[in-house]
Amino acid sequence: MTTVPPRFVPTLTDIVQPSFVPKQEEVRLTPTDCPAVLEDQIIHRVMQHVDLVLEQRLSAAITQVTLSFTQALGLRLREEIESVVRTSVSEAIAHELPAQSV
């Protein structure tokens, strides 16, 4: 009967409180079990690193895109506001000029 090794195996820096300690004869690892455990450890560490780097880089990229978009939006809003004010003032002046000539 073969048992499947756990997906995450703690490293030497992890604190482990075993619930029980198996007897020596109960621990039976075959040579093929060790590469699978090592592979799972490597995959776990790589994924932790990828998650960290991805989070940092995505955060920086989103910040930069948001800043660029906000600056562009500010310029566009300023142009629109200026256009609306010019049109409103022109209409107000045009409306007042005929009233002045009467």
Convert the pLDDT of each residue in 16-51 to its tens digit.
555 555 555 555 555 556 787 888 889 999 999 999
CB burial class (10 A; 0-12, 13-18, 19+) of residue 33?
Answer: middle
Beta strands in 15-66 (DSSP E): none
> In this predicted structure, what is the pLDDT of residue 76?
95
> In this predicted structure, what is the pLDDT of residue 35?
80
Q: Which two tokens stand for residue 27?
A: 């621990």
Mean pLDDT of 73-102: 90
User: CB of 5 within 8 A of CB of 36?
Assistant: yes
Convert the pLDDT of each residue in 80-94 to its tens digit.
999 999 999 999 999
Average pLDDT, the chain: 80
- What b/e string do you get for 12-32 counting C-beta neighbours within 10 Å, with b at 16 or more? eeeeeeeeeeeeeeeeeeeee
The residue among 47 and 11 whose pLDDT is bigger is: 47
Mean pLDDT of 2-28: 60
Q: Which two tokens stand for residue 73?
A: 């939006």
> In this predicted structure, what is the pLDDT of residue 39?
87
What pTM value is reported for the model? 0.44
Contacts of 8 (CB under 8 A, 6+ apart): 40, 41, 44
